[in-house]
Structure 1
Amino acid sequence: MNSVDAAGLEIGDEHPPRIMGVLNVSEESPYDPSVYDDPAEAAAYVDEALIGEGADIVDIGLESANKRFEVLSAEEELERLDVALETIVSVSGEAIFSIETRYADVADAALARGFDMVNDISGFADPRMPTVCEDYDAAVAKMASPPDLERPGAVEETDWSTRKSPAWAAEADYVDMVYEALKQNGLTEKTIVDPAFGGWSEAQTLADDQETFRRLREFRALERPMLVSINRKNFLGSIADRETDDRLPVSLAATSMAVERGAHVIRTHDVGETRDAALIGSAFADRTSHRIDDLTVSQLEAGSTRELEAKLREYDVDPSLIDDTVHHVLEIDGLSSADGTALESVTDEREATCVKLGAGRWILVGSSTEIARISAHLGDSTPNLSSLTDALGRIVS
């Protein structure tokens, strides 16, 4: 899992969950408490209700993404940018400022004048967006979306037969489409992926969002930090039969679960409460990762065999390796070529499998017993692999 440095704010497995508070400078936005068009009032809101309550990132939207409203052009967004810029200059607290936009020209102007990162709800539909973000060495949240600036998030409306293949399109379910949409148009080294919760199209259902949430761990295979925007969303309210104003409890419950399932950034209007819920999720996350010297050993998690198989397919590893005896799938990062060969030689003699992913990176699949035996054997025969044997021992202990 790659960490992302967002203007000095580290985002990833080895860091606390980050809270992204929301400010809108658009009169169309449906959630009134976060909407301001006066820079002084907006700055006061940011200082008190966002940064003051624990927001690490402040995401400023220039227009409502609600599909009921007409999409603004880049020129119209740029006309509103001055309010956002005046706001961040007036803020006294410390935070990372994110501009929510689908346009590379707007991102360029915002990054040049004080913003730190970009939140692109159109999934790089503007082909220049990745280049602009890379030019400024800026982090960018990429929401799953078709390559269409006017239809953010509408992944089911993408012509997957053309963009992927007819056979794939015939078999793909909604979560498969979300996953593939995030891969389309590539990922920068500083991309944060967003699985696109919410009613982005008429085709998207509450069941789609619920299934995406259930399978949230699968998106970790993209090896980028993950942002989720689930605050007061319909798919949560429908479970408890609550309207928007009464959905804070279900949002907080889902926040803890999202962080436990691998989310790194939570976008919310309810900053203080969400921060606390995220910390609880982080404290009890069943995610094991050990870093010793220059070596990192991470236990890939999965809530079901299907999720685990999806992870292995992403690494081009045969998913049939999974059977009733498999208890651990470990990603090892930082091995030298010689040490990797030594590990592979040991696993060849046991009921375990080692697969090379790339320079310094390996997948080790085996039961707790076999992993422990491999660790002991390496410890006895290969002293220079003490960091690996230590990490393996901690995982299976």
Structure 2
Amino acid sequence: MRTVDAAGLPIGDEHPPRIMGVLNVSKESPYSPSVFDDPEAAAAYVDEELIGEGADIVDVGLESANKRFEVLSAEEELERLDTAVAAMEASSGDAVFSIETRYHEVADAALSRGFDMVNDICGFADPEMPAVCAAHDAAVVKMASPPDLQRPGAVEDVDDIYDALALNGFTDKTIVDPAFGGWSDEKTLEDDRETFRRLREFRGYGHPILVSINRKNFLREVAGRDTEAALPVSLAATSMAVERGAHVVRTHDVAETRDAALIGKEFARDRVRRDAAGDEGEAVSVEELDVTTAGEAARHIDRVGGDPALAGQAVTRTVEFSGLDPEEIGALRAAVAESSAFIVGDAGTALVVGTPAGLRNISAAASGVSDGLDAALRALRGVTE
């Protein structure tokens, strides 16, 4: 996993989770506490409510991303850029300033006038965007999106989201965003929840991950909360997202989100990274990847040019069978003996440890002994995905 330098702010596994606070200079934006058209008032909000509460990055939006509104043209966004620049210049706080846009012209103008990074909500649908960001040596958030400047984030299937992130490639300083939220009428809350469950897969590109989940519908529905009461579910999800490998959390609730992110980081499993001198004195890096499923393994294997079909051999599962009679345990032991897995225990209870591929083979080999064992083996196949 690479570390991205965003104007001196390192973003990656070996650094604290970064908090991106939100400022909008778009009157149509739905979250009114963050919307300003007066630069001095905007700067005060940035200094007190964002940077003062712990934001590392301030993301300035020029228009609402709500699909109910007409998309602004690049010219219309540029007309609003003066307010964004004035607010940035009036701020006395120390933070990285990001401009949210889909247009390379706006990104170029903003970076030329003092912004540090770009948040591209259309994921390089503008093919000139990566070149502009690279020319400015600027970090850029790339949100998964169709190749259409009018349809940011309107991707439903998780596999399609992953593929959309590859649109027009990556810069050396790209941060990926899997695009949570109701970006299209077709995208369901369950689609977002499935994306969240599979969040580790997006580490497969080797770039840091940003999540924007603050008070989102897919979390609110779980607890039956409206927007005003949704902060607790956002904070719970923030800790989980960081534990699953997210590096930047975009939020309107900076102080609370910062605390939740730090808890997620504290209790995340350490990823082992060691550097040593090779035969010719070159640095040799070893990193334990954060892989828990075959799907996650497939992403990393594909990234380095391997066969994703090998992913079933790249992780292990430990499962417990209980209530087995001697004949059923015997069948299970015989099936395990023909695989690379192992089995321990008896007297009705057994632990089986193996790869998903090995467990699938065991499931096939041990079937047919009894209805009870067959039912257990069908359940076993469910944990091999």
TM bracket (short chain): 0.7 to 0.9
Rounded to whole Å, the distance in 1 between the matches of 2:224 and 2:108 is 42
Partner amino acid for 2:149? Answer: L
**What is the match of residue 288 of structure 2?**
299
* Aligned match for 1:264, one of 238, 244, 247: 247
Deviations 1:50-75 (Å, cap 9, x if unpaired)? Answer: 00000000000000010000001111
Rounded to whole Å, the distance in 1 between the matches of 2:134 and 2:186 is 33
Deviations 1:327-353 (Å, cap 9, x if unpaired)? Answer: 59xxxxxxxxxxxxxxxxxxxxxx9xx
Give SS of 1:124's match: coil
- Pick closer, same or farther for the CA change 1:323–1:155 going to 2, 3 Å: closer
* Aligned match for 2:300, one of 306, 311, 317: 311
Residues 138-149 of structure 1 aligned to structure 2 (within 5 Å): 138-149=138-149
Tell whether the 8 Å contact from 2:239 to 2:260 is kept in structure 1 after alignment.
yes
Residues 125-164 of structure 1 aligned to structure 2 (within 5 Å): 125-156=125-156
Deviations 1:226-276 (Å, cap 9, x if unpaired)? Answer: 100000000000111111111100000000010111100000000000000
Say whether 1:254 aligns with 2:243: no
Structure 1 or 2, whichever has the larger Rg, is: 2
Deviations 1:270-305 (Å, cap 9, x if unpaired)? Answer: 000000000011111114122334332211223323
- Pick closer, same or farther for the CA change 1:321–1:127 going to 2, 3 Å: closer
Rounded to whole Å, the distance in 2 between the matches of 1:115 and 1:304 is 39
Shift of residue 310, structure 1, vs aligned partner: 3.7
Say whether 1:109 aligns with 2:109: yes
* Aligned match for 2:272, one of 289, 293, 306: 289
TM-score by length of 2: 0.78
Give SS of 1:155's match: coil
Rounded to whole Å, the distance in 2 between the matches of 1:144 and 1:194 is 6
**What is the match of residue 244 of structure 1?**
227
**What is the match of residue 70 of structure 1?**
70
Rounded to whole Å, the distance in 2 between the matches of 1:109 and 1:320 is 45
Say whether 1:15 aligns with 2:15: yes
Tell whether the 8 Å contact from 2:61 to 2:99 is kept in structure 1 after alignment.
yes
Deviations 1:19-62 (Å, cap 9, x if unpaired)? Answer: 00000000000011111111000000000000000000000000
Residues 89-100 of structure 1 aligned to structure 2 (within 5 Å): 89-100=89-100
Shift of residue 322, structure 1, vs aligned partner: 5.4
Shift of residue 324, structure 1, vs aligned partner: 7.4
Tell whether the 8 Å contact from 1:289 to 1:296 is kept in structure 2 after alignment.
no
- Pick closer, same or farther for the CA change 1:302–1:267 going to 2, 3 Å: same
Partner amino acid for 1:223? Answer: G
Shift of residue 323, structure 1, vs aligned partner: 5.9
Partner amino acid for 2:255? Answer: G
Rounded to whole Å, the distance in 2 between the matches of 1:320 and 1:152 is 32
TM-score by length of 1: 0.76
Residues 187-202 of structure 1 aligned to structure 2 (within 5 Å): 187-202=170-185
The RMSD of aligned alpha carbons is 1.9
Using the aligned pairs only, state the percent identity. 69
Rounded to whole Å, the distance in 1 between the matches of 2:48 and 2:236 is 24
**What is the match of residue 366 of structure 2?**
none
Rounded to whole Å, the distance in 2 between the matches of 1:127 and 1:179 is 18
Give SS of 2:250's match: strand
* Aligned match for 2:166, one of 174, 183, 205: 183
Give SS of 2:111's match: helix
Say whether 1:205 aligns with 2:188: yes
Give SS of 1:140's match: strand
Shift of residue 203, structure 1, vs aligned partner: 1.0
Give SS of 2:165's match: helix
Aligned residues: 314
- Pick closer, same or farther for the CA change 1:134–1:142 going to 2, 3 Å: same
Rounded to whole Å, the distance in 2 between the matches of 1:130 and 1:321 is 33
Tell whether the 8 Å contact from 1:199 to 1:205 is kept in structure 2 after alignment.
yes
* Aligned match for 1:232, one of 183, 190, 215: 215
**What is the match of residue 120 of structure 2?**
120
Rounded to whole Å, the distance in 2 between the matches of 1:126 and 1:95 is 27
- Pick closer, same or farther for the CA change 1:324–1:117 going to 2, 3 Å: closer
Stretches of structure 1 that go unaligned for 5 or more consecutive residues are 157-173, 329-350, 352-365, 368-397
Rounded to whole Å, the distance in 2 between the matches of 1:313 and 1:292 is 24
